Amino acid sequence: MNNLQLHKAPYLSAELSFLEALAEGFTPGEESPFSLAVMQAIGSDVKAYYESRIDLSKPITLRNGEVVPKIGQKEFWLVENDDTFIGQISLRVSELPDHLLEMGGHIGYSIRPAVRGKGYATKMLGLLLQKIDKQEYPNILITCNEGNIASAKVIEKNGGILQDIIDTEYSPKHKMCRYHVKL
Ligand SMILES: CC(C)(COP(=O)(O)OP(=O)(O)OC[C@H]1O[C@@H](n2cnc3c(N)ncnc32)[C@H](O)[C@@H]1OP(=O)(O)O)[C@@H](O)C(=O)NCCC(=O)NCCS
């Protein structure tokens, strides 16, 4: 692990490496790998793809079918040696609506498949938590599926305390573990 930095996404020097990560099956969340057509569309203009991800004018459809407004988030890439894309982490920047209080929380992250299990997610979450203004966010909520052992460890190693494990209509397949991190 060398020279790791969080940069606002997308970071030009790591774009090529980001496209390689997509081809490996990386996605910014827990969704299935993108199809070739979607990867080509993203690759044709990575900046436009990131602009569309934070475009608040488009609502989103939740897993229970509810259509809700998007809320603002800041997205960062973890980049090694200034050119190698490692993963992505997002911070939601407004008050959390009900669905995110049950599933999603303030922070979401993903590491490219080829480098999982090497400590990168633990480091990436730590770097983001250092950036967050304690006055604005004294308590951070992070959720993960019950059974996502790696994610639970990442949160716990960064000071996360398990608050509860809930059933939620927003995640029909898994119970949701809700952690608080006090900054
Ligand atoms: C969850 C995820 C971010 C973890 O990233 P990572 O870089 O592999 O995590 P780390 O290397 O920092 O590992 C953290 C801990 O989990 C353990 N771990 C990693 N992968 C594991 C796995 N598949 N099964 C069990 N434990 C695992 C590590 O050994 C480490 O524990 P240790 O410190 O006791 O050895 C990554 O697997 C991922 O991107 N998954 C898909 C998206 C996702 O689930 N995001 C989280 C949404 S809440």
**Residue for token pair 């480098």:** 115
Atom from ligand 1 closest to the CA of residue 154: 14
Q: In the prediction, which pLDDT does 63 show?
A: 84
Q: In the prediction, which pLDDT does 141 show?
A: 97
CA of 97 to the centre of ligand 1 (A): 27
**Residue for token pair 């774009």:** 15
Q: In the prediction, which pLDDT does 33 show?
A: 92
CA of 168 to the centre of ligand 1 (A): 23
What the block records as the tokens of 35 is: 């199809």
Strand residue runs (E) in the chain: 4-8, 60-61, 67-68, 73-80, 84-92, 107-111, 139-145, 161-166, 176-182
Atom from ligand 1 closest to the CA of residue 155: 14
Taken in order of first residue, the domains within the chain and their CATH numbers are 4-132 (3.40.630)
Atom from ligand 1 closest to the CA of residue 112: 39
What the block records as the tokens of 126 is: 């730590």
Per-residue pLDDT in tens (0 to 9) along the chain, 183 residues = 889 999 999 999 999 999 999 999 999 987 889 999 999 999 999 999 999 988 898 898 988 888 999 999 999 999 999 999 999 999 998 889 999 999 999 999 999 999 999 999 999 999 999 999 988 888 999 999 999 999 999 999 999 999 999 999 999 899 999 999 998
Atom from ligand 1 closest to the CA of residue 116: 8
The DSSP 8-state label assigned to residue 35 in this structure reads: P
Q: Is the CB of 152 under 6 A from ligand 1?
A: no
Q: Is the CB of 21 under 6 A from ligand 1?
A: no
Q: In the prediction, which pLDDT does 54 show?
A: 87
CA of 59 to the centre of ligand 1 (A): 30
Is pTM beyond 0.85? Reply is yes
